[in-house]
Amino acid sequence: MTYYLAIDLGAESGRAILGTLDNGRLQLEELHRFLNTPVRIPSGLYWDTFRLFHEIQQGLAVAGRDRKVPLSGIGVDTWGVDFGLVGRDGSLVANPMHYRDSRNDGMLEKTFAVVPREEIFAQTGIQFMQLNTLYQLYAMKLSGSPGLEAASRLLFMPDLFNYWLTGVQRNELTEVSTSQFYNPVQKRWATELFEALGLPVSILGEIVPPGTLLGPLLPQVAEYAGLDPVSVYATASHDTAAAVASVPAEGEDWVYISSGTWSLMGVELAEPIINERSLALNFTNEIGFGGRIRFLKNIAGLWLLQECRRAWAQEGTEYSYDDLTKMASEAAPFKALLHPDAFLHPGGMPERIASWCRSRGGSVPETPGEFARTIFESLALRYRQVLESLESVTGRRLKVVHIVGGGSRNRVLNQFVADATGRIVVAGPAEATAAGNLLVQAIGAGMLKDLAEARAVIRRSLPLSLYEPKPSEAWEKAYERFLKLPAA
């Protein structure tokens, strides 16, 4: 048996997941779970980075000091775009801010005033979102950030934690590719954008591919956790890249949805698609394991339900996700529709949804079940819209929808996706990100040959569910209504 540990950080929580690889099968066990709660102070919304690293060390200690597991590797994955800045002495000079912070408001327009939108896309092929790293950095420059002036190196979230684990500063490729200053055609930093915007090129470090061995745990970290100097790998450290690595698919006639706080929907390609059509449809060309292109679109996923649930809890009523899913299944269909991508900022989500629907002359959800059903139906319709766009750009007929990640447990949403798209849905694995993280470590260590072998391990090891489509006239009419909705 060979043991690997995945540190998987999401926008709501983090986990330390133990992976046991034995005779071509993977077993997963959660060793440690913790909340990931951002902190708002007068200067903005921040990730609680030092506490997150403390929790990472706690996860290592469960594996080492408590369980005495002889680990062969450790890998960290997180969400994309966010970063810390490190000074010449190795200290953190700018704590990572949350991508939903309001400093990013209006930064697209301010950036385009210097570098045209078309030029940025031509160099990077990345979907335009105000939360992208490029706009966060430009916001720092325009505000005269002392952290930016003092910075020696930019480290994305997993790069920063890898540095604190090993002392090695590297930028992992899948995470780099989310920044909107990486050129996927020339396979290098798009330094021309930095220079045009007056950003310091010197903070850009060495890029390494997923599966790269960074080094052993630092002695003080290993001692704290009761571990030997275990190897730390730069796994597929962008959580979507890790999740896509674990999609249990074969052939090319499939589309994936990594379903969680965000829904990342796309296909794998050998080369990026950077042209007027992909620009007009605002698709993104991110990098996956083995240099594959994750041609996808970011969709505001179950974030809407998470925020509704948080708002109701603040009002004194706690609903579990199972409660809300059950209530959604019992609510009347298609009472209201919304565009999921219209809701970026946190706070007051039920009222914001109601106001959005009301201002556009539509019906308004009233009960928690109606809110949940509205979100699920709207997501399913948005997936159909993106699916049709993917087919038009790639020229592929996509017959199967693979849903992975935490959202794959939602049987109501999965069936809605099958019904809305008219495609077979294969749901699972639910722990896709952790599984992909672990398997990329195993490839890096030489335990597995390649991505095809890793996906075969998933098919043998983890439970999957199949949903047959049940298309109807009601779904067709709802889609007609959805296509008329504004995005904001």
Considering the candidates 77, 82, 101, 239, report the single residue annotated as catalytic. Answer: 239
Amino acid identity of residue 54, one-letter, is H
Q: Residue 194 contacts by C-beta under 8 Å, 6 or more apart in sequence? A: 181, 200, 201, 204
239 is catalytic: yes
CA dist 311 → 306, 364, 418, 427 (Å): 9, 17, 30, 29
The DSSP-derived string for 3-42 is EEEEEEE-SSEEEEEEEEEETTEEEEEEEEEEE---EEET
Is the distance from CB of 131 to CB of 190 less than 8 angstroms?
no
Contact in structure between 131 and 83 (CB atoms under 8 Å): no
In this structure, are residues 233 and 214 in contact, taking their beta carbons and an 8 Å threshold?
yes
Closest CA to 2 of 96, 61, 74, 71: 71
* 440 within 8 A of 293, measured Cβ to Cβ: no
Q: Which residues of 291-305 are buried (b: 16+ CB within 10 A; e: fewer)?
A: ebbbbbbbbbbbbbb
Q: Active-site positions?
A: 239
